[in-house]
Amino acid sequence: MVKKTILFLLLIVIAACKNEKKEEITAQTIVDKSIDVSGGDLYKTKNISFEFRDKKYVLEQTDGKKVMKRIFMQDSSSITDIKAEKFSRLVNDSLVVVADSTAKKYDNAINSVFYFALLPYGLNDAAVTKEYLGEVTIKGKEYYKVKVTFSEEGGGDDFDDTYLYWFNKETFKPDYLAYKFFVNDGGMRFRVAYNERIVNGIRFVDYENYKPKTESDKILEIDSMYQNNGLELLSKIELKDISLD
């Protein structure tokens, strides 16, 4: 009788294990989890400001509409660049005319700064295509490796760039990122996140910015290059005086 009872319980456990569905690991589930642990819905509502390379950046959000600003001094004049439905520039609070090509350049520069500052939030934009590349180990820690590309519609002028992200398997935070770009003769960059801080619920980091020591276009191998001393430090990407409303 005891043996039958044990066998019955064992069959129940086996059946339960079979019915229990493991959450499938996909690029989308990884990114969703990463956004959730890094700020979640706060990204959609908070007004954010910070300083980057002697310029102040401000994100204002009202009823789902975003206005991005870049504010700095130039030749004793106060410059405010505004990225909204269309680009505009104020010099000492007066609207000035900016050539279309220049406006596009400034608009893209502002968008790029906010894109990196608010990662991983932008990885769910409509123009983003994500691909899960598997698990890798960097510096003794395990990561999910995800490739990101952009559609031409909505992907901006640099839609043909390729990005890679390495999400920590335990925390789901993107500790590393890399990208291959084509403007200004092209190249590759690899960034290492450091100085993580949580400001009113949103994660911010700074980056060590690396480039290959020798010319290469093998973006999928850049994590191996990093671990084999194939990269050199180019600069540091640091955000200062972060504040949220």
The count of other CB atoms within 10 Å of the CB of residue 230 is 16
Percent of the chain with pLDDT over 70: 87
Return the CATH class of domain 23-244: mainly beta
Q: In this model, does residue 33 exceed pLDDT 60?
A: yes
Domain ranges of the chain: 23-244
Strand partners, 136: 143
Contact 178, 222 (CB under 8 A): yes
Six token digits for residue 220: 């999928």
Give 150's pLDDT tier (boundaries 50, 70, 90). Answer: confident
Using the Cα atoms of residue 205, residue 102, residue 126 and residue 221 in order, give the sign of their dihedral.
negative
- The H or E element that residue 109 is part of is helix 100-117
What's the confidence (pLDDT) of residue 18? Answer: 42
Q: Which of 122, 118, 125 is nearest to 199 (CA)?
A: 118
Where does the chain show beta strands of DSSP type E?
A: 48-52, 55-62, 65-74, 77-83, 87-91, 94-96, 128-138, 141-150, 162-168, 174-181, 187-199, 202-212, 231-237, 240-244
pTM of this structure = 0.86
Is residue 2 over pLDDT 80?
Answer: no
pLDDT of residue 7: 47
Residue 155 has what pLDDT? 45
Output phi, psi for 37, to 5 deg.
Answer: -80, -10
DSSP 8-state symbol, 87: E
pLDDT of residue 64: 80
